[in-house]
Each structure stands twice: as structure tokens, then as C-alpha cells.
Amino acid sequence: MRWIAIRGVAALLLSAVCVAANAQTTWRDIPCAQSLVLVAAASGVACQVQQPLVESANVPTNYSAVGTLNDVRVNLRLTHAKAPNHFRPYPEQESVRSIRGFAAEIMGAGLTDWSGPSAQRALVFMTFRAKDRTCIGFDIPGPPHSREAPAHLHGWVLRGLLCPPDGQPTNRRAVIRYLESVRVAVADPTRNVMGTELQPWP
């Protein structure tokens, strides 16, 4: 990831490989109650935070949630901008590069049968084949930090991988159903990342 500070707004260029950011940051385990990305499930998820070794207002904080829930393999990564910084809007092709890059980072080579991108409002998702399962990769930006900020800016970006067992759906409705159980803990705790009421994990 590359950040450029322009007039107080942090612009995120979603590159496929986050080499520069990872050279300056380290991951550590945290209780999931301290994470900003939360899944509506009692157990089955491990959480981490990635913070810069040298504190900087222009470097975002990453949170991850990884685990298996009802036999669905889950890997979520939230990139959170520090107020008053925000992410600028980015085109769909940047989401595609981000999804494919994140999948390659987590799962390695050998991912096949990539679908084209599908969209649901701000959500962009794709399906692909990873060994024994068809997986979903997605990218969704969140609202600005405050009502005073321009509405087109984003306070966070969530990307993730969802790999249900073969035979379970990976269509638009399935993606939304999973995301209805995921929230970012910077706003209303009763709302999910889709902006609707938080639901139990399916």
C-alpha cells in the first residue's frame, strides 16, 4: 500500500503487494474485543493488529480476523485510516487488483477460475478456485470518520476471503449474508458493514 498525504487527506493507492507498508510494521495477537473488525460469532476467530514501528498519523492501522466458522474459512483485513485522514474513492479495477493481490498474499499461487467483478453498492466481489473450494474475495470501503468530512471519502477499507465448503452458494446473496455478520467497531455496534442490522453468523 502506498499513502500520499495531500492537503490533510491521506490517499490510498491499492496496490497488489504491500511491500513498503509491511517493511515498517509488525503483526501481534490481540483479544478480538480490541479489534476494529468483528464477526458475530462466539468463537472460531483469531485477531491481530498491525501497527507501524514508528508512529505516524499518515500510516494506517490494519486489523485481521482469521478462522473457520461453520466450516467457512474466513480471512478479513481492515485497513483503518487515522482521523482526519481518509481514503479517496478508487475505481473498480483497483478493487479487482486489491482482491487478487490479497488472495495471492494469503493463499499463494495456483488460484484459478477467477470470475469477473460483481458490485453491490460500494461492495465489489469475485469468486475463484483455491484447491478444494470455491472462494469469494471482496473489497468494501466504509463511510468517512465524521459527518463534517466529505461524503465521498472513506474512513476504512475492508477486504477479505470467504471459502465455504463445496456445494454452498457463492453468489451475491451469499456474500451479503456473510457480511451482514461482520461489523467495524467505529460506529453503531448494531450495524454491519452493509449498513443493515447485525446478524448472527450463518
Distance CA 114, CA 96 (A): 10
Cell numbers standing for residue 185: 467497531
Enumerate residues 6+ apart whose C-beta is below 8 A from 40: 181, 182, 183, 192, 198, 199, 200, 201
> Of 135, 115, 128, which Cα lies nearest the Cα of 175?
135
Q: What is the pLDDT of residue 7?
A: 34
Distance CA 11, CA 16 (A): 16
Q: What is the pLDDT of residue 8?
A: 40
Q: What is the pLDDT of residue 14?
A: 36
Over the range 123-160, which residues count as b (16 or more CB within 10 Å of their CB) and which as e?
A: bbbbbbebeebbbbbbbbbbbbbeeebeeebbbbbbbb
Q: What is the pLDDT of residue 12?
A: 42
> Of 65, 63, 95, which Cα lies nearest the Cα of 81?
63
pLDDT string in tens for the chain (202-residue length): 333 333 344 344 333 233 334 445 689 999 999 999 999 986 889 999 997 777 777 788 999 999 999 999 999 999 999 888 999 988 999 999 999 999 999 999 899 999 999 998 899 999 999 988 999 999 999 999 888 888 889 999 999 999 999 999 999 999 999 999 999 998 788 899 999 999 999 9
Q: What is the pLDDT of residue 2?
A: 30
Provide the 3-class DSSP secondary structure of residue 153.
Answer: coil
Query: Residue type for 19, please?
Result: V
| Beta-ladder partners of 77 | 64, 159
